[in-house]
A = this chain, B = another copy of it.
Amino acid sequence: MFDHFAKEKSDFLRKKDKSRKGRIDKGIIKIISTLNSKNDYYTTSSCAGRIVLLEIKSRKKDECRWIFIKHDEVTFNEINNSLKKYNNNIKNNKTNKKIENQIWLKQQPVILHVACRNLDAARKLLDASRKIFKHSGMIGVTDKKATIEIIGNERIETVIADNNFAADEKYFKNLIKYANKNFVENKSKIGKFFSLIKGL
């Protein structure tokens, strides 16, 4: 019998990685390869978690500019240097004068999209995921496959400056400390999740 899911899987996994980073985060390589080694699953996108600074011009995703991205813990200096460089660019660019200049810090948890052969396979993965990542869910079901979104819990998402205010250095340093703390907790949950899916 023609195995439609296996064909789609092999086609998908042969394609070039189209993510901004162009490769899989090292923190979740083991999870990705374990899932992809099983007949019933393949991963379609993934991020192990990241700490970012971005300028939001509008809440629509296509109207923001990345100031800093790292898929790992960060130091105050590296994040602050990006911010300084960004501020200098703004000053030198007269066309940007009217920008609201709203800057957000986000520490985002792991996110994984997994295609599953059928509803039973999806349910098994979903039950395992929700033991650790309680906001995971099935985001699509067709006759051909079901897709699970696995998403972590620990996050920070806050505005740190606009044209009228800015967080002071002490606050910013502490915020980064907590972002790193969350990042480590997120990593530890990824480890626990790996133990769970090995047996699927």
Binding site for B on A (CB under 8 A): 59, 119, 122-123, 126, 130, 135-141, 148-149, 151, 154-159, 162, 164-168, 170-171, 174-175, 178, 185
Contacts and interface: CB of A to CB of B under 8 A. Distances in A.
Contacts of A156: 157-159
Nearest to A182: B59
B135 A135 contact: yes
Residue in A123, A139, A166, A168 with the greatest tally of chain B CB atoms within 10 Å:
A139
Nearest to A122: B141
Given A159-B178, A167-B167, A126 B154 contact: no
B138 A141 contact: yes
24 contacts: A59-B154, A119-B141, A123-B141, A126-B140, A126-B141, A135-B135, A135-B149, A136-B139, A137-B137, A137-B138, A137-B149, A138-B138, A156-B157, A156-B159, A157-B157, A157-B158, A158-B175, A159-B174, A164-B174, A165-B174, A166-B171, A167-B167, A168-B168, A171-B171
